[in-house]
Amino acid sequence: MDNIVDIVKEIWNELVVASAVEVPLNIKTFYDEMVKVEDPEIAKVMVDFKRPSEMSIDEYKSLPAKNNWQSNIKYSLYSINKDDADAPICLCHLIMVTACKLKVFGDDAFGKVSSRCKVGAGMINHILETNLFFPLLELPGLAYRALNEETFKSCVIDMLKVSNDTNLQRTYVGDGEGTLELAGLGIPPIALTDGSMPSSEILFKRCLHKVKALFESQQ
């Protein structure tokens, strides 16, 4: 268990650092609008409940879990990081980095894919519950259904199939570790990087390609 907790912290910290280098493409701020729930006395009438930031984890978990893991949840543009507006994190990035860290399709994963996917699903659920995540605006009173191992696996495979961008040479920005001589060109040193710290999108793509290579080797 301690090892799993350490991996969760490692993944989260890696995503936060990558976001500090460059935030995910088209990311939106953490959804913190008023959540509505059905009036207990009047059927089909929605009333104000609380904003996510005002909820306890138990209150959040008590909300109706009716949203399946369709595309608008897997690829939600709302940040899952409620504690730091300056380090927004995409859910799809969390899923792929988790799959990469666990090596769910690794060389030694034969017969262990389901068990590793179960661990991955539990890690994702824990992080989303801790961050009181809502994936979209259209159904503000409805939470997503918790991930299980099969849903986690299908989410990962779906991302592998729909992602074909192999551009890993994108310019890095923001960690302040680049060549300071370039600052004379009007570029502030903090905007420079030596490439050792990937941005959010680069981290996602690197993990995706590693997972995809392992997945295809098992086919």
User: For the CA atoms of the chain, what is the radius of gyration?
Assistant: 19
Digit-by-digit pLDDT tens for the chain (219 residues) are 458 889 999 999 999 999 988 899 999 999 998 888 888 888 888 888 999 999 999 999 888 887 788 888 889 999 999 999 999 999 999 999 999 999 999 876 666 899 999 999 999 999 999 999 987 655 555 678 899 999 999 999 999 987 654 444 444 444 545 555 555 555 555 555 555 678 899 899 999 999 999 998 887
In a domain, 189, yes or no: no
Residue 82 inside a domain? The answer is: yes
First to last CA, the chain: 31
Q: Is residue 178 part of a domain?
A: no
Predicted local distance difference test score (pLDDT) of residue 166: 46
Would 173 be classed as within a structural domain? no
| Residue 139 in domain | yes
**Exposure string (b/e) for 66-93, b if CB count within 10 Å is 16 or more?**
ebebeeebbebbbbbbbeeeebbbbbbb
Tell me, what's the pLDDT at 164?
Answer: 57
Distance of CA 217 to the CA centre of its chain: 25
pLDDT at 185: 59
**Tell me, what's the pLDDT at 168?**
41
Domain contains 185: no
**How many domains are there within the chain?**
1
Residue 184 lies in a domain: no
Residue 108, in any domain of the structure = yes
pLDDT computed for residue 51 by the predictor: 92
Domain that holds residue 133: 2-166+199-217
